């Protein structure tokens, strides 16, 4: 799953990373690790972000494409 949290939400709401971290209840350092792919997006992180920011999941996060998920059946039509 990819996030629009850092690029879209912060810019749209004119927030700093520190303000976002405070609103979510995380440290700015932890958010930075997530932003740069050093920590994965967990279900609890996604749920907390949606609840605390009062946003739908589709407004903050994008699903993985089949290629990103390593799906061996993506687009080949053979699902045996």
What's the confidence (pLDDT) of residue 74? Answer: 46
Cα dist from 43 to 1, 48, 49, 61, whole Å: 10, 9, 10, 11
CATH architecture of 2-65: Orthogonal Bundle (1.10)
Domain boundaries, the chain: 2-65
Task: Encode pLDDT of 8-65 as tens digits.
Answer: 899 999 999 999 999 999 999 999 999 999 999 999 999 999 999 999 998 898 887 7
- For 49, counting Cβ atoms within 10 Å of its Cβ (0-12 exposed, 13-18 middle, 19+ buried), the class is buried
What's the confidence (pLDDT) of residue 79? Answer: 46
């Amino acid at each position: 799953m990819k996030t629009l949290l850092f690029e879209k939400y912060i810019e749209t709401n004119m927030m700093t990373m520190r303000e976002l971290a405070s609103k979510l209840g995380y440290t700015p350092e932890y958010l930075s690790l997530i932003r740069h792919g050093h920590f994965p997006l967990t279900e609890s992180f996604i749920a907390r972000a949606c609840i605390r920011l009062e946003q739908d999941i589709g407004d903050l996060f994008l699903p993985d494409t089949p290629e990103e998920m390593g799906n061996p059946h993506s687009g080949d039509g053979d699902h045996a």
